[in-house]
Amino acid sequence: MENTPAALSDNSGPEYLVQIPPRFTFHSRNLLIGKNGSGKTRFLQQRYRNLQAENNGDAAIVYLDFASFRASNEEAGAENVMNEATLDTESNLYDVIFYQASPSFQEFLRLIDKGHESLLDDLYGEHMRRSQILKAMAGKRLESINRQLHDLIGYRVYCDTKRHLHLQKLDKTGKTLLDLPYNEMLPLLSPGERFLFYLCFFLFFVEERDHNKLVIFMDEPEIHLHPRALLTVMRDLYDSPNVKALWVASHSLFLVPLFSFQELVVLEDNCVLPRNSALYETVYNDLVGLEDINLFEFLKSVYDWEYYRFIVECFCPPEAVGTVDPQDEQYLKFIHSIHVRKKDRPLYVLDYGAGKCRIWQCMEAQRQEGFEYKNLLQYEAYDPYPDKTLLGVNGKICNCPFPFHTKPSELVKGKYDVVVLMNVLHEVDIQDWMQTFKKIGSTLAEDGVLLFLEVHTLTLGEQPYGNTGYLVLGSKEVSILFPEAIEAPMPAAIKDKAEKSNCWIVPAKCVRRVDQQKIKDCLNALHNRCGKELQKLFDERVKYARSGRPSRDAELSARKYAFLSQQYINAEQARQRFLQGGVDAANHSDVTEKIPFHGFSEMAKE
């Protein structure tokens, strides 16, 4: 996919001439940037024509013209920019998706628009008839489409017991807002939603195509796409192994970080500019009319911005997770562990540091689906800093359907079969650890257990309640603090997914044996581990900087680097405070509220 001639031209006259610097190289991924009239679309169209003429059949060449498509029940109107043949009324959408060697995007979309009321039924039924495979295989096609639909517009397609297709609209938590038969729901979609709906099928087409590669041309994809949807679509296409080459002309600032320096093609007055040290400044000036070089430095350093943002968040109080999702990984691990310990009576469970009582809210959500959790456990909550949403006008817990304790003295000794410590210990001051474990140990029955859950990495910075920054333990530190702890069995529902958190089961006697030396050794191990992980991430940053290759989020994360650097500092400070004050709380004043923080809006007012 390289090109070195001095210009690309066609037979339409000199106004279509696009000058290219000598020895300028194009790549398999190219982002065309330039002001209106700079020549982006002309370049894209001519490149498309050239590749069509050179194509030997090893790739399907597709032109996606977002500007000319109208999502409606009418014909698309004017001829598209490629002057392609009139739509063949006998064309079959299934053939276009799975078999046609070089479909046009216009034909693809017109076929979808023409038969929108039976589109999914046709694809689903045709695949069942032709493939002669188990219907589960056809169902996988729907799963593939659903991934795109959910990410882009929050919809899901499913087949009911009578094999009728339905379309669901979901909220951010996955809760169903509207569920109608497919042919009734589709007319209710807005023009933007319908376009994204059709685009999902194109992405499905890209994902399922394996008999030859695709060369994709895209002109101004941001016209119909919200920036988040735009990035989702572009990342999928950029990373797809089925896309041999990707050419995108755009005015979107958001796409620039996705492409590397060598993949940027900047046009000005029908000329491709050479790549040099001024290229990024030219790009941002063309896109946003940049006048302030400080803004430019800020925009091009998103990694630094993410790092600093996390550190600033570390001066904010922790926020309780408000999402209620019965499929949440930590909740599933909790329920699975409870089932493992099931007795002939309901287990007494104490949610220690309950926050907004997310566990109970998830159980309630499951109860509406038929899960009678009260046959499995009796739930109680404890939190010395109850969420304001739980408090009445008198400052006390009100209208709570379960026992909610705010004072340690309210907890009954030896009562609980399970005490849950979910994302709580990292918020507790190091000088309160001994007292916390002592209290938990005393409330546990002799055969009771502590269920200890922590995320691997905090995604948001936070300032805990006390005088020590957050301390998020890993497996090594937990094995020192609780030598008899075992990792909770993995629920079948999440075995194939990347884990985001740890869950340990700690016997009551092990909780009661925590002492000063174990806490000290635990802090040393945490400090050492964070130091090593930081060094590894730093070496990776240096490697990427020297290679000139941009890293993907999964390879190098600014927030993970910020998390580890802050935790490294927190662990060092905790060690010093622990050595100075030990676990005796004689000089330790109790903290009864979260540390206040003005917040950015209030700071701006000042």
Q: What domains does the chain contain, in order, with CATH numbers? A: 329-581 (3.40.50.150)
* pLDDT on residue 446: 95
Query: What are the b/e assignments for 124-145, b being 16+ CB within 10 Å?
Result: bebbbeeeeeeeeebeebbeeb
Answering whether pTM is above 0.85, one says no
551 token code pair:
């890293």
Give 397's DSSP letter: B
95 token code pair:
């053939």
* pLDDT on residue 305: 62
* pLDDT on residue 52: 82
Q: Please, are residues 220 and 249 in contact by the beta-carbon 8 Å criterion?
A: yes
Distance of alpha carbon 321 from alpha carbon 323, whole angstroms: 6
351 token code pair:
């949610």
Q: Which of 459, 177, 172, 457 is nearest to 324 (CA)?
A: 172
* pLDDT on residue 293: 46
Distance of alpha carbon 80 from alpha carbon 247, whole angstroms: 18
Neighbours of 55 (CB within 10 A): 14
Distance of alpha carbon 436 from alpha carbon 352, whole angstroms: 10
Q: Which of 430, 529, 517, 419 is nearest to 471 (CA)?
A: 430
* pLDDT on residue 440: 96
Phi, psi of 381 (to 5 degrees): -130, 150
According to DSSP, the β-strands at 165-170 and 501-507 are unpaired
What strands, in cross-sheet order, belong to the sheet with 176-181? 155-159, 165-170, 176-181
Three-state DSSP class for residue 558 = helix
Phi, psi of 173 (to 5 degrees): -90, 0
Neighbours of 49 (CB within 10 A): 16
Distance of alpha carbon 351 from alpha carbon 336, whole angstroms: 16
Distance of alpha carbon 571 from alpha carbon 565, whole angstroms: 10
Angle formed by the axes of helices 191-208 and 135-153, nearest 10°: 130
Which residue in this structure is represented by tokens 């002109």?
219
Per residue in 44-74, pLDDT tens?
Answer: 988 888 888 887 767 778 887 666 554 433 3
How far out from the chain centre does Cα 521 lie?
Answer: 35
Q: Please, are residues 340 and 490 in contact by the beta-carbon 8 Å criterion?
A: no
First to last CA, the chain: 55
Per residue in 88-137, pLDDT tens?
Answer: 444 455 555 454 444 455 566 566 555 544 555 555 555 555 544 434 44
According to DSSP, the β-strands at 264-268 and 271-272 are antiparallel
What strands, in cross-sheet order, belong to the sheet with 416-422? 404-405, 377-382, 347-352, 416-422, 444-455, 501-507, 486-487
Helix (H) or strand (E) run with residue 265 in it: strand 264-268
DSSP per-residue codes, 160-206: -TTS-EEEEEE-TTS-EEEEEEHHHHGGGS-HHHHHHHHHHHHHHHH
70 token code pair:
């109208």
Angle formed by the axes of helices 191-208 and 227-239, nearest 10°: 10
* pLDDT on residue 53: 82
Total number of residues shown for the chain = 606
Q: Which residues of the chain have pLDDT under 50?
A: 1-16, 70-91, 97, 99-103, 116-117, 131-138, 292-293, 295-296, 298-300, 552-555, 583-606
Left, alpha or beta for 353 (phi > 0: left; psi -120 to 50: alpha)? left
**What torsion do the CA atoms of 357, 361, 366, 368 make, to the nearest 10 degrees?**
150
* pLDDT on residue 481: 96
Q: Please, are residues 246 and 30 in contact by the beta-carbon 8 Å criterion?
A: yes
* pLDDT on residue 288: 65
Give the gyration radius of the chain's Cα atoms.
Answer: 29
* pLDDT on residue 119: 55
341 token code pair:
């310990």
* pLDDT on residue 568: 93
Distance of alpha carbon 250 from alpha carbon 34, whole angstroms: 8
Distance of alpha carbon 126 from alpha carbon 135, whole angstroms: 11
* pLDDT on residue 72: 39
Instruction: Burial-class residue 200 by CB neighbours within 10 Å (0-12, 13-18, 19+).
Output: buried
